Amino acid sequence: MSRRTLVVLALGAFVTTLDNTIVAAGAPSIARDLGLDVGALQWVALGYMLPFAGLLPVAGALVDRWGRRPALTGALLAFGFGAAAGGLAGSAWLLVAARVLQGLAAAFLVPGLLSLLRTNLDARGRTLGAAVWTAYLAAALALGPALGGVLSEYCGWAWIFFVNLPFVAAMLVLLPSTVPPGRDAGTRAPPASAMILVTASLVLLTTALAEPRLRIPLLAAGTAFGVAFLVRERRAADRLVPSALTGNRVFLGSLGLQLLWGLGISGIFFFTPLLHQEFLGLGPVGAGLPLVLVAVAVVAATPLVPAAVARHGPLRTVAAGLAVVGAGLLALAAVNHVPAPWPRVPGLVLIGAGSAFTVPMTSHALDVVAERYAGTASGLLTAGRELSSALGVALIGAVLTSVRAARLEAGVPAGAALAGGYTAGLLVAAGLTFAGALLAVRVPGTRLAETSSPRDKRAVP
């Protein structure tokens, strides 16, 4: 079962992350065909990210309640339907609606899959599973723009969405032999009021960054829902997030690291192919190819991670990885004024190598929670990453567009103005990543917790 679990984890990590990044290189083609400007274009990405991030805390609890097999089966079917609808969409709003459906499905798919780390694998297998998950996540993050460029240039941008379907089919075939039926004993239905409050808060706060004209009312509404959720969680007996998680400083620290890593990387990756096309003059394929170096660096560095964890511990390893990612972002900023791809290679390699060493964020966090909370914990961790991805696109987009607009008003050519905005985004991303490195060294050591699974007592085939 362990090998099949690893295959399902790899496929799930790759395809759900791919949908975050594959639209980047095809975005100019989508904009031309559907008549979208830069502001509207980001909603093709945010349409997926917002429901994904907003529903994850709720979805993880529902996966625990409904059982992993039915939740994953339904999520895969909805994800595939959304992919097919996206490829067939003939208008911007139909495309965004299809992306929203995929985001809703991914919100259930990811915590259901990540919970298999806790339920299907022993402690050593969890470390390997988390490494596989993070490696394929990072590979999709880096390869998505290149694959999107190839598909949009040679097959049409619709294939950016159709390419999801083989992954969905493979996972549906593997699911019955990987995920046992039934659900964990002792799980209860999550409270509806808490689900509504937290989802509304996350979606409104993230949307506020992407919609400058409505920023103040959206921020006010999102903050109000968030405060109401926190007050309810503190007073209610039936909490959405168990006290076993909110009282665990190791888990909360790992959640914070997920947020800062995603904020520092996701927005940069979304706008990189646009910069490569508009400033470097590359085509859709060439614009995404430099990011392949990130995936190569992730794969090359991943075998070194277990030894680093054994010698320095998971948190110091993560801190070093985040520091290397930050150094890579600064290296890109230093050469971004040069209209050529090759000076960017060292920075991209550093970002990939450093990202590989952030693997222990997930495995360490899941090691300190009880198995009955695996789905909820996985949902919260993924919510942190996806919320930071959406916030990263919105935040870096806001920085990029404001600096670009100021430079255009000053008479700077369009390509150079875009490059100036991208450099500002790189500096913001680097600052957030270095903050994550500082946080990692301050997270306390592992506390005693219910970390053993009944499956740990038998050999994993």
- Specify the pLDDT at position 348: 92
| Per-residue confidence band for 290, with pLDDT thresholds at 50, 70 and 90 | confident
Which tokens go with 67?
Answer: 């059982």
For tokens 């791809």, what's the residue? 341
The pLDDT value recorded for residue 449 is 41
How far is Cα 394 from Cα 158, in angstroms, rounded to an integer?
Answer: 24
Model pLDDT, residue 264: 75
Flag whether 200 is in a domain: yes
Is the pLDDT score of 408 beyond 60?
yes
Task: Decide: helix, strand or coil at residue 413.
Answer: coil
Check residue 156 and give its pLDDT. Answer: 87
Task: Check residue 139 and give its pLDDT.
Answer: 76
Res. 379 pLDDT band, cuts 50 70 90 = low
H or E segment to which residue 54 belongs: helix 38-66
71 and 23, same structural domain? yes
Based on the structure, what is the number of domains in the chain? 2
Confidence band for 434, pLDDT divided at 50, 70 and 90: very high
pTM for the model stands at 0.70
pLDDT of residue 187: 53
**Tokens matching residue 197:** 């409050």
State how far the Cα of 379 lies from the Cα of 52, in Å rounded to an integer.
10
C-alpha–C-alpha distance, residues 85 and 101, integer Å: 9
Least-confidence region, from 251-260, 273-282, 340-349: 251-260
Q: Who has greater pLDDT, 449 or 434?
A: 434
Q: Which domain holds residue 234?
A: 191-239
CATH at residue 385:
1.20.1250.20
Find the mean pLDDT for residues 55-59: 76
Q: Would the pLDDT of 432 be above 60?
A: yes
288 compared with 199, residue with greater pLDDT: 199
Asked whether residue 407 carries a pLDDT value surpassing 90, the answer given is yes
Distance from C-alpha of 380 to C-alpha of 53, rounded to nearest angstrom: 9
User: From CA 312, how far away is CA 306, in angstroms rounded?
Assistant: 10
Q: Are residues 195 and 158 in the same domain?
A: no
DSSP per-residue letters across 133-159: HHHHHHHHHHHHHHHHHHHHHHT-TTH
- Looking at the fold, whether 244 and 232 belong to one and the same domain comes out as no
Look at residue 165 in the predicted model and tell me its pLDDT.
95
Establish if 180 belongs to a structural domain. Answer: no
| pLDDT for res 447 | 44
For residue 433, what are its two tokens?
């990543």
Whether residue 314 lies inside any domain: the answer is yes
215, 239, 263 - which closes a domain: 239
Give dist(CA 92, CA 334) in Å, integer.
Answer: 36
Q: Taking residues 216-235, what's their average pLDDT?
A: 89
Rounded Cα–Cα distance for residues 39 and 404 (Å) = 13
Residue 185, in any domain of the structure: no
Higher local confidence (pLDDT), 3 or 346 = 346
Based on the domain organization, do 144 and 270 belong to the same domain?
yes
**C-alpha to C-alpha distance for 366 and 114, rounded to whole angstroms:** 9
pLDDT number for residue 460: 33
Do 153 and 214 fall within a single domain? no
Q: Is residue 184 part of a domain?
A: no
- Tokens 């099949």, located at residue: 4
**Cα gap 229→218, rounded to integer Å:** 16
Per cent of the chain over pLDDT 70 is: 88
Are 375 and 437 contained in the same domain?
Answer: yes
Is 376 in contact with 58 (CB distance < 8 Å)? no
* Lowest-pLDDT range of 171-180, 203-212, 317-326: 203-212
Whether residue 220 sits in one domain with residue 90: no
Question: In 246-388, at which residue ranges do the beta strands (DSSP E only) sit?
Answer: none
- Answer yes or no: is 107 within a domain: yes
Among the listed ranges 140-144, 206-210, 299-303, which one has the minimum average pLDDT value? 206-210
What does the mean pLDDT of the chain come to? 81
- Are 223 and 329 members of one domain? no
Confidence category of residue 371, pLDDT binned at 50, 70, 90: low
| 302 and 409 part of one domain | yes
Q: Tell me whether residue 451 is exposed, middle or buried, using C-beta atoms within 10 angstroms of its C-beta: 0 to 12, 13 to 18, 19 or more.
A: middle
Report the candidate in 366, 361, 290 with the shortest Cα–Cα distance to residue 321.
361
Please answer whether residues 350 and 314 qualify as being in contact, where contact means their C-beta atoms are separated by less than 8 angstroms. no
pLDDT of 50 above 80 = no
| 234 and 245 housed in the same domain | no
Q: Is residue 182 part of a domain?
A: no
Q: Is residue 26 part of a domain?
A: yes
- Terminal alpha carbon distance of the chain: 7
The distance between the two most distant Cα atoms of the chain, rounded to a whole number of Å, is: 69
Q: What is the mean pLDDT of residues 137-156?
A: 80
Give the integer Cα–Cα distance in Å for 349 and 328: 7
- At residue 455, the pLDDT reads 42
Q: Indicate whether 307 and 202 sit together in one domain.
A: no
The answer on 224 and 346 residing in a single domain is: no
Render pLDDT for 6-36 as a digit per residue (tens, 0 to 9): 888 889 989 988 887 788 767 777 877 887 7
Q: What is the pLDDT of residue 457?
A: 40
